[in-house]
């Protein structure tokens, strides 16, 4: 390009390394020979470029080795390792090392003192290591070529500790949920102090988890195998040195299930009264040569138990849900006896198994006591699970027991009270007998109805001791008429269903009657009062407040007697006798007494007076209204007859005062007095 530029060529771009193209613009004044020379030079340059070109991603120099490692060195000596660079290019290349200060490592120049390496040849750089103590060293050497830059790591591995663990460990056959172990004596056969940690996964565990061993010193390492399921199982034991190296030891173990079972696997407990307890025995035999651990639980598996424990923890502490991972890990790692006892009690507090956990020695039988203490009178059924060594799944035990409540009996449960007078108190006695072995607390309650609220009890609640009786007085007092059938409930503490005591009957009003079937006045004189008497009998056991009235009688002013009509000079005639409106007609009947209160089983004389101001035939009724019962409870018929023949005299045309001895002229009437049964004939002159 320099040549072309000197010749006046311009715009000669290099598009790629494999194909060079020149755009030359030669002045016309240049001679032909110069053009030939330029072409020759260009061809030579193209050939050189093509020969040195290669894959752009290919490294021209390859260091060997890629990393220098010094091992088993002595700090009092100098050690040397070479780094060789091979020129993979087709042309010679330069290679040199960048100086980087190191107290322990330095590089001696190439042995042939040539910085340019021919194609296919190599350059060797000796690396000298001068340690001052037995420890690990690290350094990086940087080499630069025409196109590349290399970093060659240099490491010096100091003395190392070596624990003589075998490649694998096989543990003895183990029953499920049991444990077996194998102890191995480990010695530090290396040339450095060993600081190490040991770690493995379930069902294996290792003790100790960490340690320190000097050179030539040994210790016992115990590997335990605690399988929870049957079958062959394996894990890696990771041995980690403080210098960073990890060693894996393969652990193998096999697990089997033992022939262990409960005798029997279902139990029916005796019927037991609440607040009392009964005990039943159960056995579990260990026919093996190893001790067996057992634990009673209310759940069939460990997962269900952990979940219930977690829910119980969250219920007792609502903030625990925010610490769920910690709780889960804690539940898996720590299952205390108190927590287990609490969980067993949560399942069914009336059925417990004692002892809750323990150990059965080889060739022995353990006895368990099932304690049944019911709190309710019902059928209890609970399945308990025995988590025992040697069994893959927990052994179920079905327990059935019935709780009995107090046996309180009534001498009757149905009473027909027949007719009960309104306002009367009807009392009944109920005998409650305790036929059971425990005291019977009871309480009586009534229905919340109109007639149910009319019942009362004495006593309303109490306790009937064993073998004793209690008389309960039931009182019925109603102010409401009608039939009733009410169920009174006797609730006994400990009994699921109350006892029912049914009372039925009818609430009626007071019973009474008159001494006569009717009041018959017969023929009565117009304006002349006539009185009839009768007796009202109260035949009931309750007092009766009554009111008497004549149904159909006028509501106007009282009727006028003949004496009053004659004596009052202002009266010209008898008003209202022919009125059709009942409120205008006179009240012709008078009842005495019109109202009153009649004691039980007593009577009163009733007088009814009729003063007729109407010429008609009477057919009315004496109505009895009873307070609290109703109106028109009874009607006593009343009959009477007032005719024109009884009073047909005409009145004088007017009234006036006359002197003594002066006569008044009347027409010639016929006066018929039916009352005295006589006939008077008078002729006026």
- CATH T-level assignment (fold) for domain 62-157: Immunoglobulin-like (2.60.40)
Q: What is the rounded average pLDDT of the residues 220-240?
A: 93
Mean pLDDT of the chain: 78
pLDDT in tens, 162-220: 899 999 999 999 999 888 999 999 999 988 888 999 999 999 999 999 999 999 899 99
Chain segment 455-478, per-residue pLDDT in tens: 998 998 999 999 899 999 999 998
pLDDT of residue 679: 40
User: For residues 608 and 108, which has the higher predicted lDDT (pLDDT)?
Assistant: 608
- Overall average pLDDT of the 424-451 stretch: 90
In whole angstroms, give the CA distance from residue 313 to residue 316. Answer: 5
Range 662-676 average pLDDT: 50
Q: What is the 3-state secondary structure (H, E, C) of 271-332?
A: CEECCCCEEEEEEEEECCCCCEEEEEECCCCHHHHHHHHHHHHHHHCHHHHHHHHHHHHHHH
β-strands 272-273, 194-199: how paired? unpaired
CATH number corresponding to 408-508:
2.60.40.10
pLDDT at 622 over 90: yes
The reply to whether the predicted model has a pTM over 0.85 is no
Q: Give 360's contacts (C-beta < 8 A, 6+ positions apart).
A: 284, 286, 291, 292, 294, 366
Burial track 442-460 (b if 16+ CB lie within 10 A, e otherwise)? bebebeeeebeebbebeee
In CATH, which superfamily holds the domain spanning 258-298+348-389?
Immunoglobulins (2.60.40.10)
pLDDT score recorded for residue 294: 92
User: What are 252-300's pLDDT values in tens digits?
Assistant: 999 998 888 888 888 999 999 988 899 999 888 888 888 999 999 888 8
pLDDT tens per residue, range 533-587 = 999 999 988 899 999 999 988 888 888 888 787 776 565 555 545 555 666 788 8
The answer on pLDDT for 660 being more than 70 is no
Which three-class secondary structure state does DSSP give residue 658? Answer: coil
Q: When comparing pLDDT for 96 and 341, which is higher?
A: 96
Rounded mean pLDDT of 604-627?
91
pLDDT at 69: 87
CA–CA dist 633, 540 (Å, integer)? 14
pLDDT confidence bin for 644, thresholds 50/70/90: low
Structural fold of domain 168-256 = Immunoglobulin-like (2.60.40)
SS3 call for 338 = helix
Q: What percent of the chain has pLDDT over 70?
A: 75
Residue 372: the pLDDT is 92
Strand arrangement of the beta sheet that strand 455-458 belongs to: 408-410, 425-434, 469-477, 455-458
For the chain, which residues make up each domain, given as ranges? 2-52, 62-157, 168-256, 258-298+348-389, 307-347, 408-508, 512-646
Asked whether the domain spanning 258-298+348-389 has the same topology as the one spanning 62-157, the reply is yes
pLDDT per position as a tens digit, 19-53: 333 333 333 333 333 333 333 333 333 333 333 44
What pLDDT is stored for residue 512 in this prediction?
Answer: 92
Query: Where are any strands of DSSP class E within 564-616?
Result: 589-592, 595-598, 602-610
What is the average pLDDT across 142-157? 83
pLDDT band at 649 (very low <50, low <70, confident <90, very high): very low
> Given CA atoms 642, 645, 651, 653 in this order, what sign does their dihedral have?
positive
Enter the CATH code of domain 512-646: 2.60.40.10
């Amino acid at each position: 390009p320099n040549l072309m530029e000197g010749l006046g060529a311009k715009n000669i771009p290099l598009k790629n390394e494999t194909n060079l193209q020149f755009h030359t613009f030669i002045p016309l004044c240049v001679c032909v020979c110069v053009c030939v020379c330029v072409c020759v030079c260009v061809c030579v340059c193209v050939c050189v470029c093509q020969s040195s070109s290669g894959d752009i991603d290919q490294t021209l120099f390859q260091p060997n080795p890629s990393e220098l490692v010094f091992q088993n060195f002595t700090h009092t000596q100098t050690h040397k390792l070479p780094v060789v660079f091979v020129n993979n290019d087709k042309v010679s290349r330069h290679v040199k090392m960048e100086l980087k200060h190191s107290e322990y490592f330095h590089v001696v120049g190439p042995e042939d003192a040539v910085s340019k390496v021919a194609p296919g040849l190599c350059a060797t750089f000796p690396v000298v290591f001068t340690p001052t103590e037995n420890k690990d060293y690290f350094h990086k050497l940087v080499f630069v070529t025409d196109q590349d830059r290399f970093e060659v790591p240099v490491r010096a591995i100091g003395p190392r500790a070596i624990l003589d663990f075998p490649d694998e460990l096989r543990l003895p056959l183990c029953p499920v949920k049991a444990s077996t172990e194998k102890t191995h004596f480990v010695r530090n056969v290396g040339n450095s102090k060993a600081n190490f940690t040991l770690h493995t996964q379930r069902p294996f565990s290792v003790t100790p988890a960490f340690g320190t061993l000097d050179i030539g010193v040994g210790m016992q390492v115990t590997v335990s195998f605690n399988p929870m399921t049957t079958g062959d199982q394996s894990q890696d034991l990771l041995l980690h040195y403080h210098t960073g190296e990890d060693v894996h030891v393969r652990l193998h173990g096999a697990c089997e299930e033992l022939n262990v079972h409960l005798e029997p696997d279902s139990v029916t407990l005796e019927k037991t009264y609440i607040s009392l307890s009964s005990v039943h025995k159960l056995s579990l035999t260990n026919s093996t040569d190893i001790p067996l651990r057992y634990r009673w639980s209310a759940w069939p598996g460990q997962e269900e138990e952990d979940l219930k424990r977690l829910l119980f923890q969250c219920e007792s502490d609502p903030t625990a849900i925010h610490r769920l991972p910690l709780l889960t890990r804690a539940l898996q790692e720590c299952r205390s006896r108190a927590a287990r006892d609490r969980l067993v009690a949560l399942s069914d507090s009336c059925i417990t198994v004692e002892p809750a956990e323990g150990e059965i020695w080889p060739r022995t039988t353990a006895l368990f006591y099932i304690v049944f203490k019911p709190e309710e009178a019902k059928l209890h059924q609970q399945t308990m699970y025995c988590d025992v060594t040697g069994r893959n799944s927990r052994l179920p035990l079905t327990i059935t027991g019935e709780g009995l409540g107090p046996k309180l009996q009534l001498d009757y449960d149905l009473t027909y009270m027949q007719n009960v007078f309104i306002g009367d108190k009807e009392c009944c006695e109920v005998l409650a007998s305790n036929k059971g072995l425990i005291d019977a607390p009871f309480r009586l309650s009534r229905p919340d109805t109109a007639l149910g609220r009319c019942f009362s009890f004495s006593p309303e609640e109490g306790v009937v001791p064993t073998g004793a009786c209690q008389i309960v007085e039931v009182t019925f007092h109603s102010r409401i008429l009608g039939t009733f059938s009410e169920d009174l409930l006797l609730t006994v503490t400990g009994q699921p269903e109350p006892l029912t005591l049914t009372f039925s009957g009818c609430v009626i009003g007071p019973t009474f009657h008159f001494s006569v079937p009717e009041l018959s006045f017969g023929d009565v004189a117009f304006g002349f009062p006539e009185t009839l008497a009768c007796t009202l009998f109260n035949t009931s056991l309750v007092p009766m407040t009554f009111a008497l009235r004549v149904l159909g009688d006028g509501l106007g002013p009282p009727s006028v007697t003949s004496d009053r009509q004659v004596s009052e000079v202002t009266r010209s005639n008898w008003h209202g006798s022919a009125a059709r409106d009942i409120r205008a007609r006179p009240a012709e009947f008078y009842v005495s007494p019109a109202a009153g209160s009649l004691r039980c089983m007593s009577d009163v004389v009733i007088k009814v007076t009729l003063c007729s101001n109407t010429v008609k035939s009477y057919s009315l009724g004496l109505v009895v209204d009873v307070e609290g019962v109703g109106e028109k409870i009874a009607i006593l018929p009343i009959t009477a007859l007032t005719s024109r023949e009884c009073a047909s005299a005409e009145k004088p045309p007017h009234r006036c005062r006359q002197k003594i001895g002066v006569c008044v002229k009347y027409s010639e009437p016929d006066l018929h007095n039916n009352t005295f049964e006589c006939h008077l004939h008078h002729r006026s002159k």
